[in-house]
A and B are shown apart, each in its own frame.
Chain A
Amino acid sequence: MTWPHGVGIGWRPEIAGFVAELPGLRFVEVVAESLAAGGPLPAGLAALRERGVTVVPHGVRLSLGGAEPVDPHRVAHLARVAELVDAPLVSEHVAFVRAGGLEAGHLLPLPRTREAVTAVVANVRRAQAELPVPLALEPIAALFDWPDDELDEADFLTEILDATGAGLLLDVANVYANARNRGDDPHALLDRLPLERISYVHVAGGAERDGLYHDTHTDPVPAEVLELVGALCARRPPPALLLERDGHYPPAAALRAELDALAVAAGHPVVT
């Protein structure tokens, strides 16, 4: 279990054959909920593990931001999956996906209040107690802000990270999306985030619809996001960057070009 390093890509069954043929690949991420806790691993993922590629389980359903305590069964699943792939760490979102027994089906943003910080910290600590490896937290892209926000994004995150000791999974595309949709300067946010806490970085494509930028994961990575990756690396180079693509997969050459562009922007060796 090697800590994520260099440029990686989100492993999805749809592109398993493409990922398998990336000669320089050192790490991938897999949606934790897509794996069976008892195994076996999908053949493509097992082959990557045999090659010594680091696999990081990425949870999307834990609902760490929920007002109610995090579901122990879901934490147990994440823990078992981490052991199954011999992961050095796991990651989850600072968001809630269910409330009052209702499933939103989406990652929903939290109101940035002291109360929310307390709730998230409690849930993260509950999860950390059961997980065999460190946890990294990912702030999500929010298309709206709650009216009762007390903290700005940087303070909100820093408080949670400080209280829990969790790592930061920074999604540069989210930083870009949030800043653009709020009319803020994304570089200003980078200046205020605890970049030394970054475990690894997410980069994804998106598209503008009806005046709002959507973090779709199904479109090419815009030049502005790559530029922001460069700006981040100029401040403090993260150990690893991961391209997330979740559908509308382009021809292999286009996907390779995105990975190469990411490697160039971050100053890492190309993996293609």
Chain B
Amino acid sequence: MNTLAAPGDTWGIPGPLFLKLYLLVAVVAVVGTLLHRRRATAGPDPVTADQLGPQQVAYLNGGDQLAIWAALGGLRAAGAIDVRPDRRLIAAGPTPTGVTPLDHAIRHAARQPVAAQKLGRDSGVARALEQLRQGLEQRGLLIDADGVRALRRGRNLLLVLLALGVVRLVAGLVNARPVGWLLVALLVLGVALALLARTPRRTRTANVLLRRLRQSSHHLSPDSAPAYATYGAAGAAMGVALFGTASLYALDPGFAAQAEIQRQALNASSGSSYSGSSGTSCGGSSSSSSCSGGSSSSCGGGGSSCGGGGGCGG
């Protein structure tokens, strides 16, 4: 009986038994979380996904803020938005044909002069963005709030398990018991947790579609010096959606700089890192423009930080 519970055992549970139970639970939890994540982030068959509009692509690629920039790109290419000397936007000309609800909301918000950075705070624009998001969720390209919560539950379970192991480790160390194998198990669990730390917002289908679009739309990359007049408003908007506000600067540098739109070049690696856990904005109160995901390379001119509002774009 000594082998089951010796007086020196931490919490009265012998080390080998705890380790066995702990490993069992950990393996079940990690495998379960991975399986759940795999299923929950799959998305529909990419072949069946219809053509995506520029603003949908922008939302997938960079959330609310990039969708606004893409809409601005389309509106600017159509001559439907202007910037005043005081750096605020103002609607111009008649409503172009084929406008989306977001285009309409932005033009409505810009009936009165409005700063580009503050467009997202307009209630109409926010509603249009909400519609855009819901549409993408219904098509299985974005994971909805319930799905995100479910994904986080699995991750949180692993976090609790890790915390328990750490407490046991500390207790074992205090008791001067051998903890080598537990330490190894904790390291492995820690790695698994690190890999699962970021909760994706996009499904894998969305990632596939974005990747395909980036390849097939290379001509819209600012590197190609796209002839925006030839590609039209939709081409300009798609350029911003896929390649960031660098496309706005390529389209109309005077407009983009005057409107204090932060220059941001998206590439394949930064585009795929958009996650819902931290939102899409960075820089906090000092900057109201956004960077996609956590990529440090996605903001031009600002190094790893997003910099102030006027630092990059002004």
Instruction: List chain B residues, Cβ under 8 A from A146.
Output: none
Interface of A is mostly: helix
Provide the bound-state CA to CA distance between A13 and B226, in Å.
7
Stretch in contact with the other chain, from A154-162, A229-237, A245-253: A245-253
B313 within 8 A of A: no
Q: Are B225's CB and A13's CB within 8 A?
A: yes
Q: Are A252's CB and B232's CB within 8 A?
A: yes
**CB of A76 to closest CB in B, whole Å:** 27
Choice from A13, A15, A43, A44 contacting B230 with Cβ under 8 Å:
A15
Stretch in contact with the other chain, from B52-60, B140-148, B211-219, B286-294: B211-219
Beta-carbon contacts under 8 Å, B207-244 to A: 215, 217-220, 224-227, 229-232, 235
Q: Are B230's CB and A251's CB within 8 A?
A: yes
Q: Are B215's CB and A43's CB within 8 A?
A: yes
Q: Are A17's CB and B217's CB within 8 A?
A: yes
Provide the bound-state CA to CA distance between A119 and B58, in Å.
58
Q: Are B225's CB and A14's CB within 8 A?
A: yes
Q: Are A252's CB and B231's CB within 8 A?
A: yes
A16 within 8 A of B: yes
Q: Are A44's CB and B219's CB within 8 A?
A: yes
**CB of B80 to closest CB in A, whole Å:** 16
Provide the bound-state CA to CA distance between A134 and B224, in Å.
30
Instruction: List chain A residues, Cβ under 8 A from B226.
Output: 14, 17
Q: Given A13-B224, A16-B224, answer yes or no on A252-B219 (Cβ-Cβ < 8 Å).
A: no
Provide the bound-state CA to CA distance between A16 and B220, in Å.
9
**CB of A22 to closest CB in B, whole Å:** 12
A84 within 8 A of B: no
User: In the complex, what residue of chain B is closest to A250 when comparing beta carbons?
Assistant: B229
Instruction: List chain A residues, Cβ under 8 A from B231.
Output: 17-18, 252
Q: Are A17's CB and B219's CB within 8 A?
A: yes
Q: Given A17-B235, A252-B232, answer yes or no on A44-B227 (Cβ-Cβ < 8 Å).
A: no
Name which of A14, A44, A255 has the most chain B CB atoms within 10 A of its CB.
A14
Instruction: List chain B residues, Cβ under 8 A from A20.
Output: 219
Name which of B215, B218, B220 has the most chain A CB atoms within 10 A of its CB.
B218
**CB of A18 to closest CB in B, whole Å:** 5
Q: Given A13-B224, A17-B235, answer yes or no on A250-B218 (Cβ-Cβ < 8 Å).
A: no
Instruction: List chain A residues, Cβ under 8 A from B224.
Output: 13-14, 16
Instruction: List chain B residues, Cβ under 8 A from A44.
Output: 218-219
Q: Are A255's CB and B230's CB within 8 A?
A: yes
**CB of B280 to closest CB in A, whole Å:** 27
User: In the complex, what residue of chain B is closest to A251 when comparing beta carbons?
Assistant: B229
Provide the bound-state CA to CA distance between A203 and B227, in Å.
20
Instruction: List chain B residues, Cβ under 8 A from A249.
Output: 227, 229-230
Q: Are B218's CB and A43's CB within 8 A?
A: yes
Instruction: List chain A residues, Cβ under 8 A from B219.
Output: 13, 15-17, 20, 44
Provide the bound-state CA to CA distance between A55 and B218, in Å.
19
Choice from B215, B217, B230, B235 contacting A250 with Cβ under 8 Å:
B230
User: In the complex, what residue of chain A is closest to B228 when comparing beta carbons?
Assistant: A249
Provide the bound-state CA to CA distance between A20 and B220, in Å.
12
Beta-carbon contacts under 8 Å, A4-26 to B: 13-18, 20
Q: Are A252's CB and B230's CB within 8 A?
A: yes
**CB of B226 to closest CB in A, whole Å:** 6
User: In the complex, what residue of chain A is closest to B218 when comparing beta carbons?
Assistant: A43
**CB of A16 to closest CB in B, whole Å:** 4
Q: Are B227's CB and A14's CB within 8 A?
A: yes
Provide the bound-state CA to CA distance between A251 and B218, in Å.
19
Provide the bound-state CA to CA distance between A16 and B215, in Å.
13
**CB of B283 to closest CB in A, whole Å:** 33
User: In the complex, what residue of chain B is closest to A12 when comparing beta carbons?
Assistant: B227
Q: Are B218's CB and A15's CB within 8 A?
A: no
**CB of A253 to closest CB in B, whole Å:** 9
Provide the bound-state CA to CA distance between A17 and B219, in Å.
5
Provide the bound-state CA to CA distance between A255 and B231, in Å.
11
**CB of B177 to closest CB in A, whole Å:** 61
**CB of B213 to closest CB in A, whole Å:** 12
Provide the bound-state CA to CA distance between A44 and B217, in Å.
9
Provide the bound-state CA to CA distance between A14 and B226, in Å.
4
Instruction: List chain B residues, Cβ under 8 A from A17.
Output: 217, 219-220, 226, 230-231, 235
Instruction: List chain B residues, Cβ under 8 A from A250.
Output: 229-230
Provide the bound-state CA to CA distance between A251 and B230, in Å.
4
Provide the bound-state CA to CA distance between A14 and B220, in Å.
8
**CB of A13 to closest CB in B, whole Å:** 4
Beta-carbon contacts under 8 Å, A175-189 to B: none
A-B residue pairs, 6 tightest by C-beta: A249-B227, A17-B219, A16-B219, A14-B227, A13-B224, A249-B230
In the assembled complex, 6 residue pairs joining A and B whose CB atoms fall closer than 8 Å, in A order, are A17-B219, A17-B220, A17-B230, A249-B229, A250-B229, A251-B229
Contacts A14-B225, A17-B220, A252-B231 known; 8 new A-B pairs at CB < 8 A: A14-B224, A16-B219, A16-B224, A17-B219, A17-B230, A18-B230, A43-B215, A44-B219
